[in-house]
Amino acid sequence: MKTAVIDRTARQIQGLRRWRESNFCGIAEYPTGFGKTYTAIMAIKGMITKKSITTCLVVVPTLELKSQWEAELKKNKITIAKVMVINSAIKNLHKVDMLVLDEIHRYAAESFRNIFNNVSCDYILGLTATLEREDGFHEVILEYLTVFDQITVDEALDNLWIAPYVVYNIPISLSSNEQVEYNKANNAFRHFAAKLGHGANAFKNATSYLKSSDKVLQGQAGAYYNALRKRKNLCQNNENKILATKQIIDSLPGRNGLIFSATTEFAESLQDCLGDMCMTFHSKIKRKEQELIVKKFKDKRTKVKFLSSVQALNEGFNVPDCSLAIIAGSTSTKRTFIQQLGRVVRKQPDKEAIIINLYTPGTQEEVWMKKRLEGINKDRIIVCELEDFLKLFNDGSNTENSSIEELTINPESNSIIVSNVP
């Protein structure tokens, strides 16, 4: 049996020593499942003992995280810490001994970054799974704090701090009608991109021309963005992904988990298809109803085994039993994928997580998928058709007597090979 190179608690203590070496000021970049919150709890306890701190402010991006933090503080008998959601925290000035910024990458937004000026403190600890942002605004955070310690997903996996996982990339084609619409939108996009300068220049120029007094340029920019949105919507709302999701879930009856969608419309369509085993969860749902949905999902006595989510569960959702993530719609953001991965790799005995990317082949969505998987160990990524995935997890009851289909992994391409064995 494989053993960890270093015990998780020992590594957390090592991280806190690095924080001390950084004058108790900086960012810990740890993957979800490693124990960022517990590391911060140890930090607060240590500062109470060693620095005699009497006040601590913990800032979080969501109410769900606020509840989790308050529960952990109570469990560890820490009474000097107050937890605030960022929207409320930035409205006032604060003077505390210690500041903890959970999911610190979120605070690069123009309004949220005021937290760095509104809080006066002696010690500061930032926490995130991935600091880098696609918009480059993580540089704003780095003007205030530096990263003092970093752990990759691979390091966490090698040390058995998170559950082992496999990523399956499964192409799902558009319906014939959707394909016609996609081709129209793609042709329009290419046409107007050519007029606006191609590639990054087209995007930059389109953004500028939308405000132009030249009606021709403004019209070209508008048409460019309309085509861009149409392509994106068709891929992310690919109706064939709904049946594919149901077939995947039916092939894995012992699992529960999360389905990540890009739009509320798609998430609700999934719930309609899956029935009582699934509930939709997104930011437009009222707080009390969100709490009820999560409570039902966590209660193993209910029929609810899956949450169909739109972004709202990318961060701060802690259900260790989750072992299946189906990403039915996403973008190219690597940080988002790391957060989604983190939802299902929390350590549990005998647990192996499955992460499935459903993507529309031959479209921009395939490009996005490949980009967000950059940095993920290629040995843990398998490319396969839906039919082959379903056969891989089939119990064999539907196999004909004349032949048995043997499924193996091609080590060069990490794709599933199906062959008939007489």
The C-alpha atoms of residue 258 and residue 32 are separated, in whole angstroms, by: 15
Res. 415: pLDDT tops 70: no
Phi, psi of 370 (to 5 degrees): -65, -35
Q: Which residue has the higher pLDDT, 311 or 261?
A: 261
Q: Rounded mean pLDDT of the chain?
A: 87
What does DSSP assign to residue 162?
Answer: B
The C-alpha atoms of residue 403 and residue 422 are separated, in whole angstroms, by: 5
The residue written with tokens 């999902």 in the block is 297
pTM of the model: 0.81
Lowest mean pLDDT among 67-71, 241-245, 261-265: 261-265
The C-alpha atoms of residue 80 and residue 57 are separated, in whole angstroms, by: 9
Position 254 confidence tier, pLDDT thresholds 50, 70, 90: confident
The C-alpha atoms of residue 415 and residue 408 are separated, in whole angstroms, by: 8
Residue-wise DSSP of 179-230: HHHHHHHHHHHHHHHHHHTSHHHHHHHHHHHTT-S-HHHHHHHHHHHHHHHH
User: 10 Å Cβ neighbour count for 310?
Assistant: 23
- What is the average pLDDT across 334-356? 88
The C-alpha atoms of residue 353 and residue 60 are separated, in whole angstroms, by: 27
Contact (CB, 8 A) for 306 and 258: yes
Q: Which residue has the higher pLDDT, 416 or 169?
A: 169
- What are the tens digits of pLDDT across the range 1-45? 455 578 999 999 999 999 999 999 999 999 988 999 999 999 999
- What are the tens digits of pLDDT across the range 46-98? 999 999 999 999 999 988 889 889 999 999 999 999 999 999 999 999 999 99
- What is the average pLDDT across 189-198? 90
pLDDT given at position 109: 86
Taking Cα atoms as reference points, which of 283, 309, 278 lies closest to residue 296?
278
- What is the average pLDDT across 316-337? 81
Res. 342: pLDDT tops 90: no
Q: Which residue has the higher pLDDT, 350 or 168?
A: 168
- Report the share of the chain in percent with pLDDT over 70: 91
Res. 398: pLDDT tops 80: no
Res. 397: pLDDT tops 50: no
